[in-house]
Structure 1
Amino acid sequence: MKPSILFVTSHSYLPQKIGGAEASTHQLCIEMLKNGYPVSVLSTLDSGDFISFKTRLKMKLHRTDTVCDYVMKYPVFRVWDLHEKLPKVINSLKPDWVIMQAGECIKLAKIALQTNGTHKVSIYVRDVEFAKHGGEYFADEKLSYIANSDFTSQKLLKCFQLKSTAIPPMVDYSKYKVPLTGTQIVFICPFPEKGVHLATEIAKNNPHLPFLFVESWSYTDEVKRYLVENVEPLKNVKLTPKQLDMVNIYSQAKIVIMPSLWEEAWGRVASEAQVSGIPVIARAIGGLKESVGKGGILMAPDATAFDWSEKINKLFSEPSYYREISQNALEYSQREVISVDHLTRQFIKLIEQE
């Protein structure tokens, strides 16, 4: 019997929440199922949609606070108080492996380690915002760490002297492949930490170029005001709502820009864009140096809007230069070390060895 795996996140899960961590977890679940490994997910339940209504109805009918659905083709448990329900779900499922990721992974890992059973526990670190993970990082004989990039792995080692196995986010490239016919400069998730101020300045400085800003799933009032006051008035910028299917976005993209201010642990957008040969211009910071790499253009962390504009205009005005960067992107996306098959083998090796 192959080891069973329970993935745990204090965030909500697909399709209630759509983000890089959720998409990567789903793909990993699908691949593990294909290879005969039982998988399930435990997440926080969001309110206000059909899944919430259906889950609450099941709870009432079955007089229980832990029910699952198969919307994602495998069991997903969505609960109100995840920290309280985690031991109950572990005792019920008796998984061989409990893997924490996203949200308060440290706090959840401690709960899982204190829950009776023979299960092992891993923390899949998907960002380096360590202060937001629910406690201090620690070592335990039953606990192991997985990182989503070499950058994240080195950060864990430097900050906490904790070793980890680097397994990049899993992307099913067939789901993102589009014809290279787009005309827009695409910027996804216009948050301050993602570089919205620089992206806005670039757009203002280039009124002759078309920009597509793609909204995220949640905003603070401050970010909403910024977009209304500074982005919406720009005639060369289209602000489009959040998307379930990113193919629609990438099919419009001629270039993708990633002017992040924070240390991206990986930068899944770069991987999704490069599979179609879409050039990515990104700040050379954190894991973006890995995900973009030789397949795009890495800008110095202190590069100005003028510097970014020069590169963007060169891609628009020099077809031979565009073809060169596009080909680099395509080739970089095809490297073996980030293929679904390779990452699946890596993950299975980790599970079986431990």
Structure 2
Amino acid sequence: MIDHTSGAALSAREMLCQLASRGWEVEVIGATVFETGGGPPEIRTRLDEIETPGTLVRYSDGPLKHIWVKTESPQMRDMRIHELDKLLVLYLKRLEEWQPDIVWLYGGKTFELLALGDAKRSGAATAFFLVNGNYKGKRWHQDVDVILTDSQATSELYKKTQGIHPQPIGKFIRRQTVVPLRHERSHVTFVNPKPEKGAYLVAQMAMALEHRRPDIQFEVVESRGTWGDIVRRITARQGQQRDSLLNVLVTPNTTDMRPVYGRSRVVLSPSLWWESGNRVLVEAMLNGIPAIVTNRGGPPEMIGDGGIAITLPEIFHKPPYSRLLPPDALALITGMIEQMYDDEAGYQSMVREAVKAGEERHDIERNTDRLIEQLSNLMRIVSSD
């Protein structure tokens, strides 16, 4: 829940914070594991001081109170059976002592499936947070009362593929945490350089503009992906391996994106896998920064008219997501980027649309109202049963 590299964790945490700010009592049960790395430095330091796996760790995160099981490894994939046992025992104890009205989680692994079933047996309602297109079969939602998602696109996907009806409630991002005091509007910004996020395509765009338009500076913010690896692979395929590009500034993973957005003129999000509701795009709209996205999944919904949606052949959306653009498509997209620098009137029109999208689509107070409506309805239905 405090994993800064996980969009789902960031979103879920903010949703819980919003509930707490509206008077809901929230408790978070978990373990000291993260999708990548070992968590934020201040957390790593504290956890390193606790030597015994299985120890319970209490942590206050603003309005949220966490109880974690200390694990030997910070990697989720390395969590051991006896550590899962400790987590399950802790969870069952809190179910009995606290008697929550709602148990809310995401993920379809063993612990989540057990937790949902035990919640139902305890009399609690169950809610599930769904923000990707990867869930298959019926077991993961067998004990779920309501499924919440961030976009209409993901809701429609699951209606079509599985006949279930996730409820779209939008994204949860506080404007003041992502909007800087001033905007330079100088850089082309790309976050998380992984193949499935379109990293090879962005590298191709940067290479095409490297010498032709040295005035256009790209900025790549690393998260789970590493930009140097992408550059080495794509340049090796072209016969002359390099470690970097002259027109690309690489920024390490950061918990404060305001300086990055202060430099951004346009945000690139050419995602090739199913993107439910890319938070970078919501942050861009809250900043009035136009975006170029792929016309698939939630991104077009996130930006409205505050950017451009490009359509790629279906083959680009299949693993390993390393296919490169043909020359005509590359020229078309780089031309879009150049126009955002050369046509100031057209750019400012797009900025106004981005601001509008931020105000109308991503207001956190309205989205919190939707969340509370769904959870309140769930509590009424369960209590009536």
- TM band (smaller chain): 0.7 to 0.9
Contact 1:232 1:239 in 2 (8 A): no
* Cα distance in 2, alignment partners of residues 326 and 350 from structure 1: 33
Aligned mates of 2:151, 2:102 — CA distance in 1: 21
Residue of structure 2 equivalent to 1:155: 157
1 CA distance for matches of 2:91 and 2:258? 36
- Partner SS, residue 201 of structure 1: helix
Alpha-carbon separation, structure 1, partners of 2:68 and 2:243 = 36
Instruction: State the 1:77 CA deviation.
Output: 2.5
**Following TM superposition, by how much is the alpha carbon of 1:269 offset from its aligned partner in structure 2, in angstroms?**
0.7
User: Residue in 1 aligned with 2:169?
Assistant: 167
Q: 1:70 pairs with 60, 65, 85, which one?
A: 60
Q: Does the C-alpha gap of structure 1 residues 19 and 113 become closer, same or farther in structure 2, counting only changes over 3 Å?
A: closer
Task: Tell me which amino acid in the other structure corresponds to 1:33.
Answer: A
Q: Is structure 2 residue 48 aligned with structure 1 residue 43?
A: no
TM-score, normalised relative to structure 1: 0.85
Moved more, 203-212 or 176-185: 176-185
Equivalent-residue separation in structure 2 for 1:59 and 1:120 (angstroms) = 36
- Give the match for residue 280 of structure 1: 291
Residue 31 and residue 249 in structure 1: after superposition, are their counterparts in 2 closer, same or farther (change >3 A)? same
TM superposition shift of 1:271: 0.9
- Residues 78-97 of structure 1 mapped to structure 2, 5 A cutoff: 78-79=68-69, 80=71, 83-84=84-85, 85-92=87-94, 93-97=98-102
Partner of 1:225: 229
For the Cα contact (< 8 Å) 2:307–2:350, is it kept in 1?
A: yes
1:90–1:169: structure 2 CA closer, same or farther, 3 Å change rule?
A: farther
Distance in structure 2 (CA, Å) of the matches to 1:267 and 1:64: 35
The equivalences for 1:64-213 within 5 A come to 65-79=55-69, 80=71, 83-84=84-85, 85-92=87-94, 93-101=98-106, 104-105=107-108, 107-115=110-118, 116-130=121-135, 136-140=139-143, 143-178=145-180, 179-207=182-210, 208=213, 209-213=216-220
For this pair of structures, how many residues does the alignment match? 330
**Aligned-partner Cα distance in 2 for 1:294–1:20:** 24
Q: Which amino acid aligns with 2:55?
A: D
CA distance in 2, matches of 1:129, 1:151: 14
Taking only aligned residues, the RMSD between alpha carbons, in angstroms, comes to 2.5
Q: What CA deviation, in whole Å up to 9, does each residue of 1:214-242 have, x standing for no partner?
A: 111466xxx76334454742111112211
Q: 2:223 aligns with which of 211, 216, 227?
A: 216
Distance 2:115 2:291 in 1: 40
Greater mean deviation of Cα atoms: 209-218 or 236-245:
209-218
Report deviation, 1:18. 3.5
SS of aligned partner of 1:187: strand
Q: Tell me which moved more, 155-164 or 312-321.
A: 155-164
- Identify the residue that residue 367 of structure 2 maps to in structure 1: 343
Unaligned runs of 5+ in 1: 1-12
CA distance in 2, matches of 1:146, 1:268: 16
CA contact (8 A) 2:193 2:225 kept: no
**Per-residue deviation at 1:187?**
0.7
Q: Secondary structure, in 3 states, of the residue corresponding to 2:64?
A: coil
Distance in 2 of aligned mates of 1:27 and 1:181: 28
Matches within 5 A, 1:288-303: 288-302=299-313
Q: Conserved in 2, the CA contact under 8 Å of 1:109 and 1:123?
A: no
How far off is 1:248 after superposition?
Answer: 1.4
Q: Which residue of 2 aligns with 1:271?
A: 282
Check conservation: 1:232, 1:238, Cα contact below 8 A.
no
Contact 1:153 1:166 (8 Å CA) reproduced: yes
CA distance in 2, matches of 1:37, 1:206: 51
* SS across alignment from 2:23: coil
User: Identity over the aligned pairs, expressed in percent?
Assistant: 21
Answer yes or no: is 1:248 the counterpart of 2:259: yes
